[in-house]
């Protein structure tokens, strides 16, 4: 009986939740390990929510390489990218967006972002943080901000692209109305 309940629970989990799965993508001497999509649809976004996801870059070459990231395939509704705050860090050191000073739109506009170097056969772990500020209001119901993340080595064609987003819906609790629904969607391009 317990075995049947466990089986039913597992089936329900995979039917109703879209989990992210760890993937390894390679290109030339570049190897990237991360969950894809980075922000799965199981995340329920609401004002004040901060989510951080990691990715690992491995340099399989005999020389030091510079790691670059860039947003590609950007799309949005109602300028939603200006609402999400964005940062990138390595080992607790913020490389971009310290104190949540940058928006997702700022990241899109910067083009290639240099994350520093990774030595021969070295691995480095980077964190991507996204924060939806508590100041976001109901005018952003059912809006979206979408992009893919390109990760590569400077001066080479070694690069991979990772899906960052899938659809999610969000509930909001604010001082004006305790039952507002704010639908903020991260959608897979």
Q: Where does residue 22 fall: left (phi above 0), alpha (psi -120 to 50 degrees), or beta otherwise?
A: beta
C-alpha–C-alpha distance, residues 60 and 69, integer Å = 18
C-alpha–C-alpha distance, residues 124 and 50, integer Å = 22
Tell me the Cα Rg of the chain: 18
pLDDT digit string, tens, across residues 43-93: 777 888 899 999 999 999 999 999 999 999 998 888 889 999 999 999 999
pLDDT digit string, tens, across residues 95-134: 999 999 999 999 999 999 999 999 999 999 999 999 999 8
The number of angstroms, rounded, from the C-alpha of 14 to the middle of its chain's C-alpha atoms is 21
Please check whether residue 148 is in contact with residue 70, taking contact to mean a CB–CB distance below 8 angstroms: no
Q: If you count them, how many residues does the chain have? A: 189
């Amino acid at each position: 009986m317990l075995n049947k309940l466990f089986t039913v629970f597992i089936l329900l989990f995979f039917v109703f939740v879209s989990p992210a799965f760890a993937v390894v993508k390679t290109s030339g001497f570049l190897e990237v390990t991360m969950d894809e999509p980075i922000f799965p649809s199981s995340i329920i976004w609401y004002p004040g929510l901060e989510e951080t996801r990691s990715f690992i870059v491995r340099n399989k070459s005999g020389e030091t390489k510079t790691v670059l990231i860039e947003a590609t395939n950007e799309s949005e509704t109602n300028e939603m990218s200006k609402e999400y705050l964005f940062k990138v860090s390595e080992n607790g050191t913020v490389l971009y967006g310290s104190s949540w000073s940058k928006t997702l739109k700022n990241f899109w506009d910067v083009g290639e972002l240099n994350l520093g170097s990774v030595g021969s056969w070295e691995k480095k772990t980077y964190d991507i943080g996204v924060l939806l500020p508590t100041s976001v209001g109901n005018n952003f119901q059912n809006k979206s901000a979408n992009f893919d993340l390109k990760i590569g080595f400077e001066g080479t064609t070694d690069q991979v692209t990772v899906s960052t987003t899938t659809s999610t819906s969000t509930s909001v609790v604010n001082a004006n109305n305790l039952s507002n629904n704010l639908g903020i969607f991260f959608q897979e391009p």
